[in-house]
Amino acid sequence: MSNGSEAEHRTALVFGGSRGIGAAAASRLATDGFSIALTYVSRPDKAAEVVSTIEAAGGSALSIKADSADPAAIKAAATQAAEVLGKIDVVVVNAGIIRIAPVDAFTLEDLDQMLAVNVRGVFLAIQAAVRHMPDGGRVITIGSNTAVRTGTPGASVYAMTKAAVASMVKGIALDLAPRGITVNNIQPGPTETDMTAGMIERLREMIPLRRVGQPSEIGALISYLASDQAGYMTGASLTIDGGFVL
């Protein structure tokens, strides 16, 4: 962190840290020396697995059940993380969902759920975390390259939610700049996780580098944004997608 010595104990809260990109974020930040809190909603087994892996490697982690569609749960998770860890130096807001359907078939229920988790949940997670964040902290969101190029039919709502994240990051970066807190957004392209299960081969064909990304590659960018070296970057949306949007 830009505000402390390397020897200082650093902490990170990952919203949606039980699987995929969020699990990679938690593991990578633990390897970097952060104590970790992570949230999950449906897979306590996977959350426990991430915690065990971190602990087995000599790190420290706790998991918290918190639905990112529930404002009270988000706030309580940040409070619990801050109580246990002492503070939140870095927050990674990764929890996100996808529902695919063309505009004439998209249900109101799915629309509301997407907005609740992918947009309102992101804003509220940042709001809750920065109340426990020292000056010089880091906010990192996981958007999507669909904010730049939707790419396939049926993804209008998903792309809309991720464009909202890219947009909110700029405004929040301005809000938090006086505290030296940086706010940046990572926009992955197709990455091999449960979210893309069964789609990998089709997606691979659409990517100039002819492969999908690995969660660890997104974890490496998260590691950089969380580091002292990234202190001059804020309000940015960084696309990491094998050239898909080009």
Residues labelled as active-site residues? 158
| Separation between Cα atoms, residue 175 and residue 42, nearest integer Å | 33
Pattern 19-58, binding to ligand NAP, x per CB under 6 A?
xxxx----------------xxxxx--x------------
59 binds ligand NAP (CB under 6 A): no
The pattern of x and - marking residues 196 through 225 that bind ligand NAP according to CB under 6 A reads: x-----------------------------
Identify which of residues 22 and 137 has a Cβ nearer to ligand NAP in the complex: 22
Q: How many amino acids of this chain bind ligand NAP (CB under 6 A)?
A: 31
Burial of 206 (0-12, 13-18, 19+ CB in 10 A): middle
Question: By CB neighbour count within 10 A (0-12 exposed, 13-18 middle, 19+ buried), where does 208 fall?
Answer: exposed
CB count within 10 Å of CB 199 equals 14
Q: How far is the CB of 233 from ligand NAP (least distance, A)?
A: 20
The token pair that represents 228 in the structure block: 């002292």
The only residue of 59, 134, 137, 190 in contact with ligand NAP, by rule CB under 6 A: 190
Region binding ligand NAP by CB under 6 A among candidate stretches 16-24, 128-136, 167-175, 219-227 = 16-24
Any contact of residue 129 with ligand NAP (CB under 6 A)? no
Would you give the binding string for ligand NAP spanning residues 149-188, x where CB under 6 A is met?
Answer: ---------------------------------------x
From the list 78-86, 125-133, 176-184, 191-199, the region that binds ligand NAP by CB under 6 A is 191-199
Phi, psi dihedral angles at 244 (to 5 degrees): -55, -40
User: Which residue in 216, 210, 185, 215 sits closest to 197, CA to CA?
Assistant: 215
237 contributes a contact to ligand NAP by CB under 6 A: no
Residue 221 CB neighbours (<10 A): 18
Element (H, E) at 140: strand 138-142
Terminal alpha carbon distance of the chain: 33
CB 79 within 8 A of CB 55: no
Contacting positions for ligand NAP (CB under 6 A): 16-22, 39-43, 46, 67-69, 94-98, 117, 142, 144, 188, 190-191, 193-196
